[in-house]
Amino acid sequence: MLSKKDLENLAALARLRIDAKNEKKLIQDLEKILGHFNELKNVDTQNVEPMTGGTAFTNIFREDDAIGGGLDKTSALEQFPEKKDGFLKIPPVFSDKGGFVLDEE
């Protein structure tokens, strides 16, 4: 049986605040949950091969074919609002000081 002290320790580990009026219900619920785990102790797993992953399925990949052809570089650049020397020009992401630029005008 779980004690109030056990519940307080679990709450501290999970960084949860527990309302005193819910303590009794939480202890009962946790005892039910732990009871389900105790049932698993009675399951015979002697001849069960351990799993090394989630399933025995393997990935099946399709060919990576381009659909629709896409845009050539010139057409793509023409649609972008700012460009420089054949590249897309975007606002800076990092400042010279190593931090993020939040708002630069």
Percent of the chain whose predicted confidence (pLDDT) is above 90: 36
Q: Is the pLDDT of residue 91 over 70?
A: yes
Q: Which amino acid is at 86?
A: G
Mean pLDDT of the residues in the chain: 84
pLDDT in tens, 65-84: 777 777 888 888 888 888 88
Angle at 58 between CA 55 and CA 59, to 5 degrees: 125
- Judge if pTM exceeds 0.85: no
pLDDT in tens, 24-53: 999 999 999 999 999 998 999 999 888 777
